[in-house]
Amino acid sequence: MPELPEVEVVRRGLERWVAHRTVADTEVLHPRAVRRHLAGADDFAHRLKGHRVGMPSRRGKYLWLPLEDTDQSVLAHLGMSGQLLVQPHTAPDEKHLRIRVRFADALDTELRFVDQRTFGGLSLHDNTPDGLPDVIAHIARDPLDPLFDDEAFHQALRRKRTTIKRALLDQSLISGVGNIYADEALWRARLHYERPTATLTRPRSQELLGHVRDVMNAALAVGGTSFDSLYVNVNGESGYFDRSLDAYGREGLPCKRCGTPMRRRPWMNRSSYFCPKCQRAPRVSS
């Protein structure tokens, strides 16, 4: 599953290569890729035809293309393996090409949705008054959004009877933070993932938010440098994952701060990686 920085890299690619272009036609090569559009593939294609694509937008890990002169947007579900590619018309079809969008201009590129497992897809939705596809109206702003409200986030942490990693992954509180970036930010903040949120002081929650933003911006910087071609790609991987992780995936390796072997614990069907010395488990209280 791609995380926020990867999705933002794709959004920037779409902004550069797809924004302001008018859809000529849409070819659905596999009906499963538009299954969320209940009226079917022909209706989906018909509704896009002739509309200009507005500014590609993102909230958390959700990415959409507004259709100008409508109150609708095309929402991209990237799933586990979905990719949005901008390719020359002459490029051979990818083996798992599911949807092709051609544009009514002289540029020699088209937009392709490629998905090996077809868990993802594209769907058309009405916009909320804020310009969000209605199906994601409940998704909170992400920490890179200039309108994210740090104080409201802190107050929500204080009110909730939950633990910090659960809160970081709660898309109704803060969006776009996945398992990897949560572990990275918690390691930087020296917070154990089971820490009750009600115990966080304002400076601590502010510091944590700062670390969340830092790890995301660092990943974006890497993605941003590798993205300078026609190829817009999302597959949940970026050079950042190989080079710069301090916590995630480092079980048994020395903590980069204190040298203590890092640990991994099962956590909500996933894993949490942490340093047992820098990130002390909270005392159990009843």
CB of 215 to Zn ion, least distance (A): 17
Q: Smallest Cα–Cα separation from 77: which of 36, 22, 110?
A: 36
| CA dist., res. 142 & res. 81, Å (int) | 23
Q: Smallest Cα–Cα separation from 78: which of 36, 113, 110?
A: 113
| CA dist., res. 59 & res. 176, Å (int) | 7
Q: Which residue among the candidates 2, 5, 56, 66 is catalytic per the annotation?
A: 2
Binding site for Zn ion (CB under 5 A): 255, 257-258, 260, 275, 277-278
DSSP single-letter state for residue 35: T
Q: Which residue among the candidates 49, 52, 166, 270 is catalytic per the annotation?
A: 270
Exposure string for 259-284, b = 16+ CB within 10 A, e = fewer: eeebbbeebeeebbbbbeebbeeeee
Please name the helix (run of DSSP H) or strand (run of DSSP E) that holds residue 28, with its range, or none.
Answer: strand 23-28
Residue 96, marked binder? yes
Whether 3 sits among the annotated catalytic residues: the reply is: yes
Of the pair 94, 246, the CB lying nearest Zn ion is at 246
Of the pair 104, 281, the CB lying nearest Zn ion is at 281
Of the pair 127, 244, the CB lying nearest Zn ion is at 244
Q: Smallest Cα–Cα separation from 130: which of 53, 71, 51?
A: 71
Q: Which residue among the candidates 58, 61, 112, 250 is catalytic per the annotation?
A: 61
CB of 277 to Zn ion, least distance (A): 5
Of the pair 114, 189, the CB lying nearest Zn ion is at 189
Residue nearest to Zn ion (CB): 255
∠ at Cα 152 (159, 275), nearest 5°? 70
Of the pair 245, 255, the CB lying nearest Zn ion is at 255
| CA dist., res. 77 & res. 63, Å (int) | 8
Residue 166, marked binder? no
CB of 275 to Zn ion, least distance (A): 3
CB of 204 to Zn ion, least distance (A): 18
Whether 95 sits among the annotated catalytic residues: the reply is: no
Residue 277, marked binder? no
CB of 273 to Zn ion, least distance (A): 12
What's the start-to-end Cα distance of the chain, in Å?
A: 36
Convert 258-281 into a string of H (helix), E (strand) and C (coil): CCCECEEEEECCEEEEECCCCCCC
Point out the residues that are catalytic. 2-3, 61, 270
The binding site comprises 96, 117, 160
Which residue ranges are tagged as binding site for DNA?
Answer: 96, 117, 160
